[in-house]
Structure formats: structure tokens, C-alpha cells
């Protein structure tokens, strides 16, 4: 079941779903808008091969930036963080979508979900358009659509990205 605006306002008021900071205008008809945070990580162009069986850190493949606005170059891939920290209960998950105005500019966010039980800021990949696009910090950019599961999940999210803050680069499992 997809949660509508009335459900979301109730869940937020009762702190069943937590979003901090929460802006009242962010609750939409069938979801909640999230804002661009103050940090991104740009994928480096390199011929160096990332081998997950050897490379446990991806730091050499990204450049982090902090700022009040970010220009996404044509076809560039970046990781962006949300301003908001979210906390989901064990029976609610969320689909992450790009707000349609940004999709109409040619920006793209690959299909992404937030698992039931997740807590933290969201790190999301953005793929650039045919032309540079400036993204100011604080702009409503993503739209989360929340779905209630029929029963609480047996194994709520407790993975390597739980409680992440700031742009979180890929974490590879240790052998």
C-alpha cells in the first residue's frame, strides 16, 4: 500500500517515520520531497581498474566536494547526499524518484529503494544531462514514495550503509 499525504502526515507526527529536518511543504500528494545536501562525490575519469576482490576502498575513484551549489556536467556521474536524515520502521520502505522538473532537464537517477529499517542520510547517484545543470544546496530534488509492507520485514536493514552521514562511497565486503 502506497502512503498518501494524510498517512504520511500522521506517520511523521507520531514519529513512526522520521525525517529531519522536516519542511511541511515537502509532504506531497503521495510522497515526501528531499533536498540537496552540501556535499557530492564526483566519479574520476581514469583507466585504473577497480577490482572489488582486491580494492576495499573506492576513495581513489572519487573526488569529494562541499559547497552551496554544484554544476553537473553533461553525462557526468556524481553521488549526492540529502540534507535530510530519515528513519524508517520495519514495515515501511521507500522508492526514490527524481522530481519531474529535473527529469525534464535530462538528469537521471537510477532506480533506488530505501529498505525498511534504514536510518541515515541518503547517498544517491545522479547522471548528467546533455548540458550542464546547476543544483543549489537546499533545492527540493528527490521524491520518496513510501510503501507499507503487509507485515514487518523479517530482517530490517542493518547493512554497511546504516546510519550513514554525508556522501558515502561504495563499501566493499572484506574477504
Which helix H or strand E contains 103, and what residues bound it? Answer: helix 100-103
Query: Does the reported pTM lie above 0.85?
Result: yes
pLDDT tens-digit readout, 53-105: 777 678 888 999 999 999 999 999 999 999 999 999 999 999 999 999 999 99
Q: What is the DSSP string of 119-157?
A: EEEEEEEEE--SS-EEEETT-EEEEEEEEE-SS--SS--
Mean pLDDT of all residues in the chain?
Answer: 93
Tell me the CATH number for domain 5-43+62-148: 2.70.40.10
Please give the grid coordinates belonging to residue 67.
559547497
The catalytic residue positions are: 125
What's the confidence (pLDDT) of residue 174? 59
Q: What is the pLDDT of residues 116-129, one digit of tens each?
A: 999 999 999 999 99
Spatial neighbors of 30 by CB under 8 A, at least 6 apart, are 2, 3, 4, 5, 145
Report the distance separating Cα 125 and Cα 81, nearest Å. Answer: 9
Look at residue 57 in the predicted model and tell me its pLDDT.
73
* Cell 550503509 -> residue: 161
Amino acid at each position: 500500500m502506497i502512503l498518501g499525504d494524510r498517512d504520511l502526515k500522521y506517520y511523521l507526527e507520531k514519529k513512526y517515520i522520521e525525517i529531519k529536518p522536516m519542511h511541511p511543504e515537502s509532504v506531497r500528494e503521495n510522497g515526501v520531497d528531499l533536498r540537496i545536501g552540501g556535499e557530492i562525490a564526483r566519479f574520476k575519469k581514469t583507466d585504473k581498474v577497480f577490482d572489488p576482490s582486491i580494492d576495499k576502498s573506492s576513495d581513489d575513484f572519487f573526488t569529494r566536494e562541499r559547497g552551496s551549489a554544484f554544476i553537473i556536467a553533461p553525462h557526468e556521474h556524481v553521488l549526492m547526499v540529502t540534507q535530510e536524515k530519515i528513519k524508517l520502521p520495519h514495515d515501511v520502505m521507500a522508492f526514490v524518484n527524481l522530481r519531474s522538473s529535473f527529469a525534464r532537464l535530462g538528469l537521471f537517477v537510477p532506480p533506488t529503494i530505501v529498505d525498511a529499517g534504514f536510518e541515515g542520510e541518503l547517498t544517491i547517484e545522479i547522471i548528467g544531462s546533455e548540458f550542464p545543470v546547476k543544483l543549489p544546496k537546499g533545492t527540493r530534488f528527490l521524491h520518496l514514495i513510501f510503501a507499507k509492507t503487509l507485515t514487518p520485514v523479517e530482517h530490517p536493514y542493518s547493512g554497511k550503509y546504516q546510519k550513514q552521514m554525508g556522501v558515502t562511497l561504495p563499501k566493499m565486503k572484506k574477504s
